[in-house]
Structure formats: C-alpha cells, structure tokens
C-alpha cells in the first residue's frame, strides 16, 4: 500500500520506542497519526513531537487490553480525525527472566492482555470497518523474532507464547482477507534499543498495578546496542509499501530460524510407526 498525504493511522504503544518512531515517520509522509498509549502523558508527548515536526497528530490514552476501550477509542478517532486506513497494533510488554511455572496470574494476565488481546481488540475494532469500506488499507501487527523461536538463554516463554499467537493471527488475517484490498504485515524484530524492559511500570491496577520487574532488567542491557526504533520504523513502512507479509528487521537472525526449522523438519525422520498390538494367547 502506498503511503500518501492525507491518510490516517492508528498506532498503539505510541508513547515510546517503535510506536513513537512510527508516528514521526508516518507524519513526515503526510499521514495524520492517532498516537495511542496507556501512558497519557507519553502519548501527548509523541503527538507534540509530531506537530513540532510539522505533522498532524492527536493523542489518546488507551489500555489495549481493555476491549471496550479499544472499540470506543476507534470510534472517537474516526469522529475526530476521519477515516483510518493504517492500523498499527504495536503495543507490547516484556515478560522475561522467569520460568513460566513461576509467573503469577497477574503477570500472565498482563502479558496476554497487552501482547495478544491488544492485537485481537485492534482487529475487532478496525478490520470490520476496513472490509465494509472496500478501500485500500493495511494492518500491521508487531510480533517479534520470539514469535518464531523460544530463546534458550533468556527465559522468554510467556512473551514468546504471545508473539507466536500474533504471528498466527496475522497469517490467518492474510488468508481470510485475500479478496479485500487490505494488506497484512507482521513485524518480527530482535533487539531494539527501547524501554520495553520498563513496561511493567504502566501495568493497570486491574492487572496488578505498576511494578518494576527485576527479572526484566537484563533486557535493558541486552537491547541497548540494538537497532534504533527509528531504523525499525523505517523498515516497517518500507515493508508496508512493498506489500510484505513477514517483516524481519534483523538479517543476522536468519540463522536462528534455520536452526529451529531444521529441528522441526528433522522430527519427520524417521517416520513414526505405531507398534503392532500385542496379541494375547489367553483363551
């Protein structure tokens, strides 16, 4: 889908990181952005940066784990800004450094609520509108390279589980919307120099309240030398215009997936054969 002045975009997780970078790059292309984040002040700051750069933006405080809030915000955005054709389901939180059997239910609810339900709610709020209009549009879901492999060193099981699901949702959307002029992309970055390791500070009260997870702190050191959010945003927008489904931003990670899929395909050899039933000589 060609990015053109006058289009409008919905961007979640817009208060920092990739989300903020997407808003700034979109605005420089003439796209008006609805900058959505659970942190109202951060969303306002992003909108301010866009406008200071000559772009058009409005900010919206939004908890993407709240289905009703996402639907209501979608209605409000289109009432205030006009028809949206670019949907970036980008918000995400970290859940690293703890074995899955040690996570609390509040932690499970948080990571699933944002990383998975946030995408589901975005799909429910926007895709029916896009289908009904029948005009060119694009949905971009942010997953991760963790959506294709579980890192053996960083205890990313819960995070990876949600990102695997985002990949599956995106593949399903692509199949189901083939007859509509709606492109689908799933973004799968590796290390990005963002503040995702601090995401627990914005956890809402209904999911346990703000928390600083010590287990995530190593992640800050891990990603500080990664690609910048602006680099990732540039690659994402290029992928949208090229119509790419899978958006792999870190070429060096290809070998990681080759190792995983070599193991998966190797499980077919030799073929499994069920043993014959043992015959009983009784009777």
Residue keyed to tokens 């007859």: 179
Nearest Cα neighbor of 7 from 103, 135, 128 is 135
Exposed, middle or buried: residue 258 (CB in 10 Å: 0-12, 13-18, 19+)?
A: exposed
d(CA 15, CA 57): 13
d(CA 98, CA 28): 40
For 110, the enclosing helix (H) or strand (E) is helix 105-111
Cite the active site residues: 159
Alpha-carbon Rg for the chain, nearest whole angstrom, is 21
């Amino acid at each position: 889908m060609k990015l053109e002045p006058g289009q409008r975009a919905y961007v979640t997780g817009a208060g920092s990181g990739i989300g903020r970078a997407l808003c700034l790059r979109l605005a420089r292309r003439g796209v008006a952005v609805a900058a959505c984040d659970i942190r109202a002040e951060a969303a306002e700051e992003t909108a301010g940066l866009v406008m200071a750069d000559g772009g058009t933006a409005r900010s919206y405080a939004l908890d993407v784990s709240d289905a009703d809030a996402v639907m209501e915000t979608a209605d409000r955005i289109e009432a205030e800004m006009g028809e949206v054709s670019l949907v970036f389901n980008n918000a995400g939180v970290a859940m690293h450094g703890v074995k899955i059997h040690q996570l609390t239910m509040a932690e499970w609810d948080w990571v699933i609520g944002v990383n998975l339900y946030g995408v589901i709610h975005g799909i429910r709020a926007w895709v029916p509108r896009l289908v009904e209009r029948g005009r060119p549009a694009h949905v971009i879901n942010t997953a991760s390279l963790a959506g294709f492999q579980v890192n053996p060193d960083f205890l990313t099981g819960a995070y990876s589980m949600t990102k695997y699901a985002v990949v599956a949702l995106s593949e399903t959307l692509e199949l189901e919307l083939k007859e509509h002029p709606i492109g689908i992309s799933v973004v799968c970055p590796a290390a990005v120099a963002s503040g995702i390791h601090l995401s627990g500070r914005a956890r809402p009260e209904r999911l346990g309240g703000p928390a600083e997870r010590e287990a995530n702190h190593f992640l800050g050191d891990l990603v500080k030398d990664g690609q910048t959010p602006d680099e990732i945003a540039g690659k994402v927008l290029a992928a949208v215009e090229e119509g790419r489904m899978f958006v792999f931003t870190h070429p060096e990670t290809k070998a990681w997936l080759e190792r995983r899929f070599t193991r998966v395909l190797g499980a077919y050899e030799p073929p499994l054969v069920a043993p014959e039933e043992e015959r009983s000589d009784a009777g």
